[in-house]
Amino acid sequence: MKRLVLKFGGTSVGSIEKIKNVANIIKEEFSKGREIIVIVSAMSGVTNDLKKKSNLISENFDDKELDVLLSSGEQVSCSLLAGALIDLGLKARSWLGWQIPIVTNINYNSSQILKIKTEEVSKFISNQGVAVIAGFQGISFENRITTLGRGGSDLSAVALAKFFKADSCEIFTDVDGVLTTDPSINNKAKKIDKISYEEMLEMASLGAKVMQPSAVQASMIDDILIHVRSTFSKKPGTKIISENDIDYKKTVTGIAYSKNNAKISLVGVVDKPGVAADVFEPIGSNNINIDMVIQNTSLDGKTANITFTIKQEELKKTLNIIEKNKKKINYQKITHDGRLAKVSIIGAGMITSPGVTHMMFRSLANEKINILAISTSEIKISVLIEENLTQRAVKVLHEAFGLN
């Protein structure tokens, strides 16, 4: 018998009517003769509201108490959903993290799942029961409630699929699946039928809307088949599967982008071992996330130029840190640019298609879009451009790589 993990996000259970709709979806899947484990997020808006309450109590609200507070959101949605299933005549019950238990480490607010006990739930579902499990939460060895961090219900779903050896993990959400690009800036965006874990991770800027990147990573490690699909339509969604199982007809799978990037260039840095560390150590220790890094040797071979990108809102702080460490870093000149976007083409088929890089740069050049920096990985090419050219760049690349 097929065993499915069905995960419903906050928008899917955002109202009583929507919870009833989800109950009907589950009943339909159950009637196909499947063993079903349901994971549910808090009703949309609830977690934010609870978080806001905690902030009003204290800006440094205790992390353990925060997990007690936030986990109540999933407690509400999973009991309501279990009640709705029982009302439809199914055998159903809810389990909270501590009841199963879903054992995590003690990193309160962003815990990792260590182990899930399966006996009780397995017995229940093999006896025609539908198990409804609260997502996002677990219990530590200190016997206290933990949570997995934002979007943690995706992680719960993947972990349950692993420990219960499910055949598939279905992520129900409010869109039809993973799209080739953001439909709000390109109405030619199309649903992707199959995508590899690696591509999905690189698509984070698009994919994060449908599934938490860390959950994609977890499913990749354990080779769990993910199916991202809509709660509000019956259309098949996007399957996230192993690269080996995809027959690549297209070189490029999707076009991702992120706005609000800033670039800093240090010119004439003395080129010696450890110089990159001298630059990035003080920035990283201030919790500033560095994205792209490009280092070129200068013509004279004695100095280097280092360019890197950060989020726009951290530009000022970063410039201050560099200024403070000027002596140590020892550069001749610093330049910066604050309104940039990163546009990426992503596709596992790129490795075997040597013309891709050329085609990308040519397509952008034809549109007179200047490339300020380039960074590549095996399945991705990213370019940095002026932010106001983002939409044009996405559109031209979407067409050039046959995604329209």
Residues that bind a second copy (CB under 8 A): 16, 19-20, 50, 53-54, 56-58, 60-62, 64-66, 68-69, 71-72, 75-76, 78-80, 82-84, 86-87, 93-94, 96, 98-99, 143-145
Query: Could you give phi then psi for residue 254, rounded to 5 degrees?
Result: -165, 165
- In three-state secondary structure terms, 199 is helix
Nearest to 209 by CA among 232, 225, 230, 186: 230
Distance of CA 395 to the CA centre of its chain: 23
- Exposure string (b/e) for 21-53, b if CB count within 10 Å is 16 or more? bbbebbbebbeeebbbbbbbbbbbebbeebbee
Nearer to a second copy, 43 or 346 (CB): 43
Nearest distance, CB of residue 43 and a second copy, angstroms: 9
Nearer to a second copy, 19 or 171 (CB): 19
Nearer to a second copy, 93 or 263 (CB): 93
Distance of CA 99 to the CA centre of its chain: 28
Nearest distance, CB of residue 64 and a second copy, angstroms: 7
Nearest distance, CB of residue 387 and a second copy, angstroms: 39
Nearer to a second copy, 61 or 280 (CB): 61
Nearest distance, CB of residue 56 and a second copy, angstroms: 4
Residue 191, number of CB atoms within 10 A of its CB:
17
Measured distance CA(102)–CA(276) in Å, rounded: 42
Nearest distance, CB of residue 92 and a second copy, angstroms: 8
Q: Do 398 and 188 touch, CB atoms closer than 8 A?
A: yes
Nearest distance, CB of residue 234 and a second copy, angstroms: 23
- In three-state secondary structure terms, 331 is coil
Nearer to a second copy, 127 or 184 (CB): 127
Measured distance CA(113)–CA(65) in Å, rounded: 19
| Helices and strands in the chain: count of H runs, count of E runs | 13, 18
Nearer to a second copy, 68 or 292 (CB): 68
Nearer to a second copy, 31 or 60 (CB): 60
| Token representation of residue 205 | 């800027």
